[in-house]
Amino acid sequence: MISKFDQLNSKMKFIFGLKTDKQVAETLELNISTYKNKKKDNEIPYDNVIRICKDKNIDLNWILNLKNN
C-alpha cells in the first residue's frame, strides 16, 4: 500500500528529476525534519505543493490526484 505522501513524493521526483527526499524537501521549501514528520504522518504539505505548482506551471489536478489505498 502506497501512502498519499509517497505518491506525491514520487510525482515530485518524476517532474523535477529528483533522486532524494532531501531534494524534494528543498523543492517544496521545507526543512528536512518537517518533511520527514509530514511523511511519517502522511500529511500533504498542500500550501507548498500549490505554490511550487503555480510557480512552475504544473497541473495541480494531476499532482494532487492521489489515490486512497
Contacts of 48 (CB under 8 A, 6+ apart): 28, 29, 30
Contact 15, 63 (CB under 8 A): yes
Residue 65: what pLDDT?
A: 87
Task: Provide the residue-wise pLDDT of the chain in tens; the chain has 69 residues.
Answer: 789 999 999 999 999 999 999 999 999 999 999 999 999 999 999 999 999 999 999 999 888 888 776
d(CA 56, CA 54): 6
Residue 68: what pLDDT?
A: 72
Query: H/E element holding 41?
Result: helix 32-41
